[in-house]
Structure 1
Amino acid sequence: MEEQKHIKDYIVDYLLEEDAGKGVDPVLAEWLAEDESNRKDFDLYKKIWEESHLYTESGAYDSGLAWEKVDAINGQKKSSRQYLRNISYAVSGAAASLLIILTLSFMGVFQKKSDVLVRMTADYGNRSEIVLPDGSLVKLNSGSEVAYSYDPKKKIREVAFQGEGFFDVSKSKEPFVIKTAGGLNVRVWGTSFNLQAYTDDSVVQASLVEGCIELESGKEKLIMKPGEIAVFDKNTNEIKQVGGILSHSYGWLDNKLYMEDMPLSVVCKYLERWYDVEITLQSGLGEDIRYNGVIQEETVTDVMEALSRLSHISYHVKGKHISITSK
């Protein structure tokens, strides 16, 4: 029925006008009376709306910015907006804030406790994008996961992260802290940067495009400036600045792999993540063969063909398994 199709409009109107003492719209009243589950859903929406003021105070959440970014992403990759498919009409101001909260909550990403929690995973062979409740945008590379929480008492935005992602963090007086599995914490002040922190890598790499970030692990700290690249060694807990071309570190955004004296073993690790394949190397080849240049190919077979032309290797593809031997 038509009323059912747009029932969220009536819920939004009711919650926005409740403080003014207005009653329940007849259409909404009829919907509530139809089924007990409708009443439970409505009560849940109302509870979330009442609690959402904790997250929409000035300086804690910019609904306009968040909606603008959500709307922009909605016109791009489908994989990055699955959790917002229920949004089919334009809203503004407080209604935008409410709609984002209700939609995320309905999909089960908000916790009923004091924390707000949003989680997104990009499996091997896939990439995703997510707009966090504070308006920050995170682009996830293959094999990555991000989990966002907000503590209204401590007023801290925290992100648990593993994998690789490009962060565009919204500016706020409240700290934005990323915690990696390797023990490195990244404190952010409204900025853009790439963070590579796969659990099976020995180092975490941060590449700062603009703004300022601080890397911290125990007593080790490093404040980065735009254009700088830094690495954290998980084995020694050492943080140091390194050289390199900044844009190459996030070339994956353009499906490019920049190789600078890169061992075949490392190249294969990238390919396994990007294409969701398993690669077996002949003993000794992994470190002996190194590459310089850039790869931008459509399929993993195209990549293997390019590598075989650059070096003396042969490859055999069987399903998702690739074996590499010397020619």
Structure 2
Amino acid sequence: MTFKLIIKKIKKTLNQQESEIFDAWFNESPEHRAYFNKVKVNFNSEIDNFNMNEAWSKIQNSTQEPRFKVNWKYMVAAILIGILVTANFIVKQNDSENFIQESSKISEISIGSNKAILTLNDGSELELKEGNSQALTNASSNGKELIYKCSKKHRSEVIYNYLTIPRGGQYVVKLADNTKVWLNSETKIKYPVEFEEGQVRQVELIYGEAYFEVTSSAVNNGSSFRVLTKGQEIEVLGTEFNVSAYQNEILIYTTLVEGSVSIVTNEKEIKLKPGEQSILDTSDNSIQVQSTETYFVTAWKKGLFAFKNKTLLEIVPILSRWYDVEITIDDENLESVGFKGVLSKNQSIEQILELIKKTNFLKSYEIKGNKIEIKK
């Protein structure tokens, strides 16, 4: 988070995404809150009466050319209150954990966007992407969200559609019962075009990550909602939860935000409470439950990367999916380095790599096409 965001908070000019980043930083510790209050007091009492041009002239005469591009207006404001800001980002290093903030380099690798492939019942495919609208018999897409209509006509058979989100993509689908599902990169979901009245509303997360905002069974004639994944079933009455079940990963994470769900495997059934996360090991079908901070699990649907005690090895696949790149780490000692912080998914991959580089745990990285090598 840049010092500029603190000033924008004071001026009440933050946009929604900037507010998310600021709130995460502000709520993280009493020190952050005290720091913000100090900035606010000094900003209101001193900045308006300060001769910015005169101050900058003095600074310019006594400093060398900076290594990074700096917003000098806010640099001067920082100096006034005794804060050392030497670049357009801040990195906090503490016990091998690093608070990742913000940088300004631009990469040629594309940032992820809203896009998906819709597979219809007859096997035909439609490309959905931002900026393009699609109108179907029972659904429509505005380039960001696919919305199904409920015709309430009796069908002799259940018709299924598939929605596939490629690497570098994300999309939202609103099902015929008004259940809303956010789909992350490299995700595939199967669902009926319409649900059968009086039957369980069932969808299948074939692979990937999805956040479900399920409509209550009370408004669906008592029909419960069920999500199938590899090795487990999630029974729902009406709630919000996140499921992460990526290909080539043996662990499936189910995180409950609101309401109540039951996780059913071949061996047991477990009920989750809000703020709890189940972890299913598909290699031996074992399952455990732990408390978690749901913000860090679900921030992706708000356009953010939120890391808390995430190792570099855990962060790499998240970045790889969003930017559609292949990332390797050339030193296994780097894999266990822990990071924490909140970043915008609209930042370039190079911006994020520059931040990681500034933690001093690695010296460089190399980008060749869509392949990135992180070096110590």
Q: What TM-score, normalized by structure 1, do the two folds share? A: 0.64
Secondary structure in structure 2 of the residue aligned to 1:190: coil
Match of 1:120 in 2: 163
Tell whether the 8 Å contact from 1:80 to 1:130 is kept in structure 2 after alignment: no
Tell whether the 8 Å contact from 1:221 to 1:239 is kept in structure 2 after alignment: no
User: How far is the alpha carbon of 1:205 from its aligned partner?
Assistant: 1.0
Secondary structure in structure 2 of the residue aligned to 1:272: helix
Q: Matches of 2:163 and 2:133 in 1, distance apart?
A: 10
Match of 2:200 in 1: 156
Q: Which has the higher contact order (CA 8 A, sep 6+)?
A: 2
1:192 aligns with 2:236: no
Q: Matches of 1:285 and 1:113 in 2, distance apart?
A: 59
User: How far is the alpha carbon of 1:256 from its aligned partner?
Assistant: 2.4
Match of 2:176 in 1: 133
Q: Matches of 2:251 and 2:131 in 1, distance apart?
A: 27
Match of 1:316 in 2: 366
Number of positions where the alignment pairs a residue of Structure 1 with one of Structure 2: 231
Match of 1:299 in 2: 348
1:211 aligns with 2:259: yes
Q: Matches of 2:215 and 2:288 in 1, distance apart?
A: 26
Q: Matches of 1:301 and 1:288 in 2, distance apart?
A: 21
- Selected match of 1:226 from 274, 281, 288: 274
- Selected match of 2:211 from 166, 180, 184: 166
Amino acid in structure 2 at the alignment position of 1:242:
Q
Match of 2:286 in 1: 238
Tell whether the 8 Å contact from 2:304 to 2:342 is kept in structure 1 after alignment: yes
Amino acid in structure 2 at the alignment position of 1:123:
P
Secondary structure in structure 2 of the residue aligned to 1:127: strand
Q: Matches of 2:317 and 2:293 in 1, distance apart?
A: 21
Residues 108-145 of structure 1: per-residue CA shift (max 9 Å, x gap):
xxxx8611312211111110011112221101011111
Unaligned runs of 5+ residues in structure 2 are 1-127, 141-148
User: How far is the alpha carbon of 1:83 from its aligned partner?
Assistant: 4.5
Q: Matches of 1:177 and 1:212 in 2, distance apart?
A: 12
Secondary structure in structure 2 of the residue aligned to 1:304: helix
Unaligned runs of 5+ residues in structure 1 are 1-76, 89-95, 102-111
The 1:116–1:211 alpha-carbon spacing in structure 2 relative to 1, beyond 3 Å, is: farther
303-312 or 135-144, larger mean C-alpha shift = 303-312
Secondary structure in structure 2 of the residue aligned to 1:307: helix
- Selected match of 1:143 from 181, 186, 195: 186
Q: Matches of 1:254 and 1:209 in 2, distance apart?
A: 15
Q: Matches of 1:178 and 1:81 in 2, distance apart?
A: 29
Q: Matches of 1:80 and 1:204 in 2, distance apart?
A: 33
Q: Matches of 1:80 and 1:141 in 2, distance apart?
A: 19
Structure in which a larger fraction of residues adopt helix: 1
Q: Matches of 2:228 and 2:351 in 1, distance apart?
A: 36
Q: Matches of 2:348 and 2:163 in 1, distance apart?
A: 25
Tell whether the 8 Å contact from 2:208 to 2:244 is kept in structure 1 after alignment: yes
Residues 10-53 of structure 1: per-residue CA shift (max 9 Å, x gap):
xxxxxxxxxxxxxxxxxxxxxxxxxxxxxxxxxxxxxxxxxxxx
Pairing of 1:1-327 with structure 2 (within 5 A): 79=130, 82-84=133-135, 97-98=150-151, 114-149=157-192, 152=196, 155-161=199-205, 162-172=207-217, 173-181=222-230, 183-296=231-344, 298-313=347-362, 314-326=364-376
Tell whether the 8 Å contact from 2:329 to 2:335 is kept in structure 1 after alignment: no
The 1:269–1:285 alpha-carbon spacing in structure 2 relative to 1, beyond 3 Å, is: farther
User: How far is the alpha carbon of 1:82 from its aligned partner?
Assistant: 4.7
Q: Matches of 1:85 and 1:114 in 2, distance apart?
A: 19
Amino acid in structure 1 at the alignment position of 2:208:
G
